Structure 1
Amino acid sequence: MRKEGHTKVRGWRWRRNPLRRHSDVVEARIVLAAWAAAIVGGAVGGAVVAQAVAGAVEHDRMGRRPVSAVMVSDAPSGTRDVTTGVKYDHVTAKVRWTDSHGVLRTDQTTVKGGSTAGATVAAWTDGRGHLVSGPIGSAEAAARVGLAGAGAGLTGGLLVLTGGLMVRLRIERRATEQWGIEWDQVGPQWGRKTS
């Protein structure tokens, strides 16, 4: 048995056709508007979020200051992960430094394994004098900005398309209800015999 397929005709909602209803035209305009808004809104939203993230990343990078710290005690040698066998050559050790206000501070930071007491190591502080990790590199910053912008753009575009789909489904439901009402009026006439 051969299956009957239906042919898809592009742009049928825009053509003059006696079977075309007002709801078909409205539906086509909603689809067009939703796609246009999703593309433009997604691009603008992504650019705005990318700009905001770039500013935040740059502010964070500028807020970190390098300091020269002195090892308080010997650092243990690098450790090896028991399950994977990977050797880590950086460990946490106690260091001492003088902050920008002349206050002597002590805290723990990551240093190269096997460093000896009295050795000078590079450390990073925030604006309040607390030890923090080093600033991210320019490649990682660009990746964060790009991912945030792309994610925001895609999310915004998908939200707009989802809204357009919901409106379109509502219009289709109303059109189907209208077709049912019209069929109730016309359907009984098809069963009559004409002489």
Structure 2
Amino acid sequence: MRVIAGLWRWRRNPLRRTTDLAEGWATLVAALLLLLAAPAAGWLCGALLDSSLQQTVRVQHEERYPVTAVIAALPKDRRAAGFDGDSPKERSADTRVIATWRAVDGSKHKSAVSAPLSGWRTGDSFRIWTDAHGTQMKPPMDAGTARLHAALAGTGAALAAGLLIEGGRRLFVRRLVLLRHRRLDRAWAEVGPDWGRTGAGS
């Protein structure tokens, strides 16, 4: 609606001011930028981030390996913690256990790790991720998650570009309004003192 109102200032009218025409051009340029530049900025940002994240995904899958960890010992205090509604801390869904595993280079390891969920018993096994030497690592990022992050970043960049364009248009129009007011003040200063005195014989 604002675009239509701005373009309407191009209509032929003897009262049309130069600032009206400038506002019409500013509205047209802003509309074109919103339709073309903002989506392009979002696409470019998303594409660049997706390329970078996909490279990170490939590197992580090359450097991290899934291995089977076997529980060797459980925590000494296995009592379930009572629920405390006043406690600001959330109970963790993981359980720390002592586990053993063999790395892809053949080395054996034994350390405390986080086992998903609870209810484990000695001898149970679960999967963990390690580097080539057996050091535990976080699971590698998957390609789908990388694409989602890139899409969200691209959408954010497009919205930010749109807000920047609209903010620039509003600032330009505000300056035009101030210019109109200054011109009106000057015109009034010239004719104001004699306003209504025509033909009064003064």
Distance change in 2, residues 1:19/1:139 (3 Å): same
Please give the per-residue CA displacement for 1:135-165, whole angstroms capped at 9, x wherever unaligned.
Answer: 4566644443332221111011101211221
Query: Is 1:178 aligned to 2:183, yes or no?
Result: yes
Moved more, 146-155 or 8-17: 8-17
User: Quick check: which one's helix share is greater?
Assistant: 2
Please give the per-residue CA displacement for 1:28-56, whole angstroms capped at 9, x wherever unaligned.
Answer: 11122123213322211211222233234
Distance change in 2, residues 1:31/1:12 (3 Å): closer
Task: Give the residue type in structure 2 aligned to 1:94.
Answer: I
Give the SS at the match of 2:10: coil
Distance in 2 (CA, whole Å) between partners of 1:128 and 1:93 is 20
Distance change in 2, residues 1:133/1:81 (3 Å): farther
Query: Is 1:12 aligned to 2:13, yes or no?
Result: no
Q: Number of residues paired by the alignment? A: 187
Match of 1:146 in 2: 151
Tell me the TM-score normalised to structure 1 length: 0.74
1:187 to 172, 189, 192: 192
Q: Tell me, which stretches of 5 or more residues in structure 1 are unaligned?
A: 1-7
CA apart distance, 1:181: 1.0
Tell me the TM-score normalised to structure 2 length: 0.72
Distance in 2 (CA, whole Å) between partners of 1:187 and 1:70 is 94
Task: Give the residue type in structure 2 aligned to 1:114.
Answer: G
Mapping for residues 63-142 of structure 1, pairs under 5 Å:
63-64=60-61, 65-74=65-74, 82-83=83-84, 90-105=94-109, 106-125=111-130, 130-135=135-140, 140-142=145-147
Give the SS at the match of 2:73: coil
CA contact (8 A) 2:66 2:129 kept: yes
Match of 1:4 in 2: none
